[in-house]
């Protein structure tokens, strides 16, 4: 079964909920995490999801069922996903083992409307990948479209709660009596997503003009799934794509929500493991001290702004606003961008090769490598080494032989290393995370 690679299993739940003092964790607070079971589900097959109550509106969290309500599920005539749904590569920049694999599927599009779905999917992708750092790092993604033809056009709950439609994924507004909350049947999502070559995260685009969506993220995949996150959004509302952009901030960047809830009071945790949340008000020792005083893309200045991760006091965020605080902002701050870049390289590789590293190579054999197409390649530095010593004359070469590098003897080791030199990274630990190496032994 196509699935997520073992190196990519550290995905963080984006859910958050009101917590009582008895439920507080003793250690550092995980990004956006509420105290839910390890599989991300509550009792009775439920999920904690994040949603927004309108364009640019306030974020909320709610527990929702994993499957569609009985009234909607019974209305569905398509009992199971087809054995082989059509899968179309939107972009394929490298092997699934070295890429983030994003699956896009639609709901409420009939077989005759699949061209409309593809157009809506492309528009959503264009909007999301116009945001930095997605724009510069789109080349680290493989993107797949999975056709999910529905019996009827549109989705349940649109325009009113009483409307029920027969759709492939059973998407529905008015989830848990909340109009803008767009839920679905996660088992149906699994059945379709697993037909793509790989699926790390899924976007579901509902055929609707009504604003709405939801963010589902899972520390471990749902039963039978390879994906770790689902973002739902309506197709024809100009602001819904921001839900997907925000949710990827949790799943990829381990970013916490930067908003707070009235009445939550003081931050109860000793620390946070998120880049964009700190319990230290002293600017010189904050997590983002390297960015202090910089003018930010959000229009703010990097500093320490009190309130975030759902709490009002005793916790600080880098800017007055950002995409992780409100969907009224369409920008990540500098700190969020740096965290996202680290996340991209945690689950994808800047350097790949078709020459297996587990096999020995001859002195005259060509070793070809490929750099991921990020930021026009201007930020990626490729270096070659023989037995740990850099061969400076080969810097940037995409094809070499061991003999050309001065490694003609059996047992010598040839290594290619790439590092991202982007100015968007200032933390040396993050810089190190952007690097990956491939090594071959000469025979």
Rounded to 5°, the CA angle 299-305-307 comes to 120
361 with 247, same domain?
A: no
Taking the whole predicted model, whether its pTM rises above 0.85 is answered as yes
Residue 390's alpha-carbon distances to 222, 332, 385, in angstroms, are 45, 37, 4
Instruction: Note whether 32 and 181 are same-domain residues.
Output: yes
Residue 427 — pLDDT band, cuts 50, 70, 90?
A: very high
Residue 182: inside a domain: yes
pLDDT in tens, 343-367: 999 989 999 999 999 889 999 999 9
β-bridge mates for residue 103, sequence order: 144, 202
Residue 97 resides in a domain = yes
Q: What is the pLDDT of residues 239-275, one digit of tens each?
A: 889 989 998 999 899 999 999 999 999 999 999 999 9
Same structural domain, 111 and 231: yes
Which pair of structure tokens corresponds to residue 386? 């023989």
Domain boundary among 251, 271, 295: 251
Which of 204-208, 222-226, 372-376 has the highest average model confidence (pLDDT)?
A: 204-208
207, 232, 251 - which closes a domain: 251
Report how many domains make up the chain. Answer: 2
Range of 423's domain? 350-442
Could you tell me if 86 and 104 are in contact, meaning their C-beta atoms sit under 8 angstroms apart?
Answer: no
Q: Which of 37, 47, 63, 43 is nearest to 229 (CA)?
A: 47
d(CA 120, CA 148): 14
What integer is the mean pLDDT of 29-36?
52
* Kind plus residue range of the DSSP H or E element containing 431: helix 428-433
Residues in the chain: 443
Task: Please choose, from the candidates 334, 198, 232, the residue with its C-alpha nearest in 3D space to the C-alpha of residue 276.
Answer: 334
At residue 277, the pLDDT reads 96
Whether 259 maps to a domain, the answer reads no
Burial 278-307 (b: 16+ CB within 10 A, else e): bbeeeeeebbbbebeebebbbebebbbbeb
Q: Domain for residue 381, yes or no?
A: yes
If we measure between CA atoms, which residue out of 165, 195, 289 comes closest to residue 3? 195
Closest CA to 206 of 182, 230, 190, 225: 182
Cα-to-chain-centroid distance, residue 235: 19
**CATH code (residue 365):** 2.60.40
Say what percent of the chain tops pLDDT 70.
86
In a domain? residue 316: no
In a domain, 28, yes or no: yes
pLDDT in tens, 390-416: 999 999 999 999 999 999 999 999 999
Band of residue 378 on the pLDDT scale cut at 50, 70, 90: low
Q: Judge whether residue 324 has pLDDT over 70.
A: yes
Question: What is d(CA 268, CA 227) in angstroms, rounded to the nearest whole number?
Answer: 32
230 and 358 housed in the same domain: no
User: What share of the chain has pLDDT > 90, as a percent?
Assistant: 71
Confidence of residue 70 (pLDDT cuts 50, 70, 90): confident
Which residues does residue 418 pair with via DSSP β-bridges, in sequence order? 382, 436
Question: What is the rounded distance in angstroms from the CA atom of residue 438 to the CA atom of residue 417?
Answer: 7
Residue 8: its pLDDT value, please? Answer: 28
User: Which of these three, 251, 283, 311, is where a domain ends?
Assistant: 251
> Residue 38: what pLDDT?
37
3-state secondary structure of 111: helix
Question: Within a domain: residue 110?
Answer: yes
What pLDDT is stored for residue 161 in this prediction? 94
Order of strands, edge to edge, in the sheet holding 399-400? 351-353, 367-371, 399-400
Q: What is the rounded average pLDDT for all residues in the chain?
A: 86
**pLDDT for 43 beyond 70:** no
C-alpha–C-alpha distance, residues 420 and 279, integer Å = 30
In a domain? residue 129: yes
User: Which two three-digit tokens encode residue 316?
Assistant: 């600080």
Of 39-53, 196-210, 287-301, 358-372, the poorest mean pLDDT is in 39-53
The domain spanning residue 239 has which CATH number?
3.40.390.10
pLDDT score of 36: 39
**What's the pLDDT band for 81 if we cut at 50, 70, 90?**
low
Q: Average the pLDDT over 133-160 and give the result.
A: 96
- Chain segment 208-248, per-residue pLDDT in tens: 999 999 998 777 788 888 888 899 999 988 888 998 999 89
């Amino acid at each position: 079964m196509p699935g997520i690679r073992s190196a990519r299993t550290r995905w963080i739940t984006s859910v958050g909920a009101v917590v009582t003092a008895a439920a507080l964790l003793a250690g550092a607070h995980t990004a956006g995490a509420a105290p839910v079971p390890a599989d991300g589900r509550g009792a009775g097959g439920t999920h904690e999801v994040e949603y927004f109550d309108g364009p640019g509106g306030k974020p909320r969290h709610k527990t929702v069922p994993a499957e569609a309500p009985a009234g909607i599920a019974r209305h569905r005539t398509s009992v199971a996903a087809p054995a082989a749904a059509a899968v179309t590569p939107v972009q394929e920049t490298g092997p699934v083992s070295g890429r983030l694999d994003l699956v896009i599927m639609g709901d409420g599009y009939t077989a005759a409307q699949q061209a409309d779905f593809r157009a809506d999917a492309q528009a959503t992708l264009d909007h999301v990948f116009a945001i930095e750092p997605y724009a510069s790092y789109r080349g680290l993604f493989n993107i797949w479209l999975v056709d999910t033809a529905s019996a009827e056009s549109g989705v349940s709950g649109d325009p009113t709660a009483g409307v029920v439609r027969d759709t492939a994924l059973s998407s529905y507004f008015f989830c848990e009596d909340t109009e803008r909350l767009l839920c679905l049947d996660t088992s149906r999502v699994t059945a379709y997503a697993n037909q793509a070559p790989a699926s790390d995260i899924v976007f579901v685009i509902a055929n609707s003009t009504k604003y709405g969506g939801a963010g589902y993220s899972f520390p471990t995949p749902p039963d039978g799934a390879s994906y770790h996150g689902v973002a739902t959004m309506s197709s024809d509302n100009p602001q819904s794509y921001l839900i997907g952009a925000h949710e990827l901030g949790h799943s990829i960047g381990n970013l916490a929500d930067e908003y707070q809830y009235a009445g939550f009071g003081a931050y109860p945790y000793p620390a946070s493991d998120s880049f964009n949340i700190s319990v230290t008000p002293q600017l010189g020792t904050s997590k983002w001290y390297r960015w202090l005083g910089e003018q930010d893309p959000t229009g703010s200045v990097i500093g320490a702004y009190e309130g975030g991760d759902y709490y009002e006091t005793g916790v600080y965020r880098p800017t007055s606003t950002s995409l992780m605080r409100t969907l009224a902002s369409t920008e990540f701050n500098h700190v969020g961008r740096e965290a996202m870049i680290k996340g991209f390289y945690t689950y994808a590789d800047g350097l790949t090769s078709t020459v297996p590293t587990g096999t020995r190579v001859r002195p005259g054999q060509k070793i070809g490598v490929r750099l991921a197409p990020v930021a026009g390649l201007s930020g990626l530095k490729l270096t070659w080494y023989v037995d740990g010593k850099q061969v400076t004359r080969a810097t940037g070469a995409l094809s070499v032989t061991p003999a050309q590098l001065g490694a003609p003897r059996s047992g010598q080791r040839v290594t290619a290393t790439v590092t991202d030199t982007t100015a968007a990274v200032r933390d040396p630990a993050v810089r190190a995370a952007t690097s990956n190496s491939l090594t071959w032994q000469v025979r």
